[in-house]
Amino acid sequence: MIQYFVDQLAEALSRIEHTSHELHAHQNDWELDPADGLYLFKGSIHPFVVKKHIVDLVREVWHLYDGTRELMNAKWKAGQINATDTNLDGGNGPGKAIVNLHVKKCRWIQLCGDLANLTKHYTLARATKTGDAPPVIGDSVLIAKSSNAIEISTGPDGTQLIKFQKPVPMRPTLMILAEDGTVLGDAVEIALKARDSWLDLLTRSGCSFAPVKS
């Protein structure tokens, strides 16, 4: 059973990688406009598609909780984990206690849990894992790190035209906000930091996975 859960987690990590890649795939799609010598960004993704990918991403990352819990229980049953307390989830093993303790230490995972619950039930079905008010999903935005000249205009069809003096990677995301509008972070970065936190727990528990690329 241990290998079964390792394989299932590996598949989940691959799905996370695939979804992340879909959001990054067109981040370098620039086209030089000879009229003004600026680069026009051609890699925009429809906001609906961006939100779909991000909802898939945060849900998949949050559900690593279940796979990790089952794996820990399987390792305990195989004698590979020694439980030092009596919190064995009705005799199933220490998996629930281990993952809940880990979640309490990682705000990124907590946010993914709240966002997964929020997007599944339209409103939170239980108290937030962060202990704060429910997070708010903001509009689709483009993220780029650049200090060069930027020109933004609106095309005849109403689409936004973005031009840079020098092309840089630019990817879409959703900003996650607190109830008062404070930015909590970029949804993609939140999800990938949460994934890395799960990987840290799994590695410390003796499990190894192929390097994950983002």
Would residue 173 count as lying in a domain? yes
Would residue 155 count as lying in a domain? no
For 163-201, what is each residue's pLDDT tens digit?
Answer: 998 889 999 999 999 988 899 999 999 999 999 999 999
Would residue 158 count as lying in a domain? no
Query: Residue 137: is its pLDDT beyond 60?
Result: yes
Section 13-22 average pLDDT: 95
Section 28-54 average pLDDT: 93
SS3 content of the chain, % helix, strand, coil (to 5): 45, 20, 35
Would residue 71 count as lying in a domain? yes
- Hey, what are 162's tokens? 């973005």
Residue in the structure block whose two tokens are 């727990």: 201
Would you give the DSSP letter of residue 167? Answer: -
Would residue 213 count as lying in a domain? no
Q: How far is CA 88 from CA 73, 100, 138, 151, 207, in A?
A: 9, 12, 39, 59, 21
Would residue 8 count as lying in a domain? yes
Residue range of the domain that includes 133:
2-29+46-149+168-204
Query: What percentage of the chain exceeds 90 in pLDDT?
Result: 59
**Residue 82 confidence (pLDDT):** 79
Helix H or strand E segment including 30: strand 30-33
Q: How far is CA 93 from CA 75, 101, 136, 202, 204, in A?
A: 9, 14, 35, 16, 18
Would residue 41 count as lying in a domain? no
What span, in angstroms and rounded, lies between the C-alpha atoms of 119 and 125?
11
- The closest of 111, 158, 149, 153 to 130, measured between CA atoms, is 111
| pLDDT band (50, 70, 90) for residue 120 | confident
Section 109-128 average pLDDT: 83
If one counts the domains in the chain, the total is 1
Would residue 154 count as lying in a domain? no
- Hey, what are 80's tokens? 């590979």
**Residue 68 confidence (pLDDT):** 96
For 82-98, what is each residue's pLDDT tens digit?
Answer: 776 667 777 788 999 99
For 138-161, what is each residue's pLDDT tens digit?
Answer: 988 888 887 667 788 776 766 678
Beta strands in 104-182 (DSSP E): 136-144, 150-154, 160-164, 170-177
